[in-house]
Structure 1
Amino acid sequence: MAKDSRHGAHPVCRAVAKSRKKARSACSAQFWQMSDDEVSTALLEASRLRAQVAALELRLAAEADRREVGDEVGATDTASWWGHEIRQDRRAAKRRMRLAESLDRHAPTAAALAEGAISTDHARVITDCIDRLPDDLEDPSIPERAEKHLLNEALDLDPKSLAMLAKHVLTVVAPEIGEACDARALEREEREARAHAWLTMAPDGKGSYRGKFSIPTLHGEMLKKALLAFAAPKHQSSKKADEDATEVVERRPSPERMGDAFCELLERLPTDKLPKLGGLNASIVVLIDFTSLTSDTGRVVLESGQPISAAMARRMACEPGLIPAVLGSSSELLDLGRTARLFSGAQRRGLVITQRECTAVGCDWPAHLCHGHHDDSWLHGGKTDLKNARLLCPRHHARIHDPRFETTIHPDNQVTFHIRT
């Protein structure tokens, strides 16, 4: 019989093929025939087996990288080839390849993983910690002692707890230098976290905003504590006391309850204390006609053009973060004539409502980032009235005052610029 070229003659190839066959057979077995002890024991052993298989996989990945196996098909690197071949996320493949490279340098951790004593998550924490140690340590045995200490702790700790301990490993294995090194590392970490903080968010078109962020530990803890104050059982119980006095509130806040707490936190922000944006406090303006305001149904529009229900607008109308602009109302003074040069907050809100964005043709800068401009110059007698006002982004506001350009205001109130000849 011809030898199966896929399995080859090497013991590793035969072991992998045989293990896959046995695992496939085990998955199709009748589990109901097992005792409780057999199920629990098999589950724990399967977890250890997973770690051992991962150790083998990572060793093979490191060897494949050394041989540059992806070059044969023109792959950018071995991780890209690996991810493509097994239809794995490329970023995940690169993370696993980095772990494979680290384990190549940390034999004790690789051995513990091969024994099934630790998981790949434990191994990543340990190798990352050792790789982050300063290069100028006077005692060359410190990295070895630190790795040994973390491996011992990994037998009793989950990866998250181990990661917290790893941040201060030098204090344990080299207390004479550990405290100073930890302090410097912490300061550097905090600087980098603040410098690289980011947030993205966008409407999903289904009535929600979705986003993600990365912020320093301190600010994350501040946000978490504020949200927990709204999501805590005591707060939730007081909110629901009138609905059902006997209701039992779960002790651990769910993601849904934390999301509800986030909304409540935003609704309670004191907008009069926030920095001004475009000359106004960071308040939301809602365009709503009198009929929608008084009826049970209806649809209103935010200044950005996003719609919300009239019921939501009525509920929020008394909150400081939302200003209802009832169309046709004269409750705010929008025409200051010659009494002031700069447009007032009320006038700014009026411009946001009527113009929405920069009035230069082809420009989509949002209103809250634009400047208020007098069509008839205030210095030459122009009034600070809405009919004499327009929104222009900083670039077009500079251009409209540039003597090299002349402007044309079109019937739709849009402006175009032309170089003077």
Structure 2
Amino acid sequence: MPTLALSSPLELLDELKRKVRALQRLQFQVLEIIGSLDQQGAAESLGYKDLVEVFKHTLRWDPKVSRRRIKQAQALCPTVTPTGSAIAPALPGVAAAMAEGELSEDHVEVLAEAMAALPSVAEEHVVEYARQHEPRSAKAFCKELAYRLDQDGQEPKDPAPAPQKNVLRRQWRGGRYLLSADLDAETGAKLDALIDPLAKPEPHDQRCAPEREGDALCEVIDLALRADSSRIHGGERVQLTITVDYDKLRENIGTALLDNGEHLPMAQVRKMACDAGIIPTLLGSRSQIHDVGRKTRTINAGLRRVLVARDKGCAFPGCTRPPKHCEAHHIRFWSEGGKTNADNLVLLCRRHHDLMHHSEWQIQLTEGLPTFRPPAFIDPHRRPRTNPIHAA
């Protein structure tokens, strides 16, 4: 076509439509690749929990974007059974229209949600409508179609009887642990008080509420297990860890750093020190080594304080989890002769601790700070990375 500046509005619109159709065909090809990765169990073979974590490191997608595209791939791509039999996609009509470049990702999201409540014969009609209208209008059409097919709606259910006893059901299924609880109001309120603070979304947190609450429950369990040891935030009484430059404390200038990354004015720190038990931790430019040797892999309270003062939270690049949600990881595994000292330990949250044990990520201390090298499929040069979020 002629230069854009010399093109007429109609010529520009025609070219824009061609580009958009080509882009939507390309988006479908992306979903096909995602579907194949999902089918092959690629995340597990790379040492990752799921594809969301893989895409976070390889494509820099937010978890919300990854989950959306994985869900769309599962609806639009055929699958293969363990015996080798091919199974058609759940939404073949939607898949065909997107492959032609007629539907966008927003269309697919609307139609997939709508078809969950519609009979399969309705797919042809909703796809035909979506080919001619924007996603918002297609959503309204699907809603109206569902209403016309079932104007009476579902019959109201009888109210459930009030629970009389606390009931907990536990079951292992397919490598997962399923929980179902029916608790009294008092116990439920206590559980909410434990989970709610841990389930608050972090900045740029794309997890949905049930996922955040599930992770929070896991953290409550981890905290309960640590309560039987002498670790900080465990067997000892609740403590506040403050990292402060001694000269600034003496001169009452500047600020001190809390273990959650917040800063306190020095005057407030001096006031707190008047009525506090002081446990000094001396840090040089590379941190003093605190060594408990090879006899045990358990991290004592003093050593954990050193790690909290140095790492200030999960040391994995980009992670924002504070120290109380972290575990101490042996850089050289204890089972392979690694020592239990600050030069061989790093704070990691539960998710990244698992990742270090099951993937090709590597850790080393560089000038006293944890440095991470990603797998080659993320960065062929395996350039070192640190976590500047917790930097003092």
Q: Give the TM-score, by structure 2 length.
A: 0.34
Larger RCO: 1 or 2 (CA < 8 Å, sep 6+) = 2
The structure whose residues are more often helix, as a share, is 1
Q: Give the TM-score, by structure 1 length.
A: 0.32
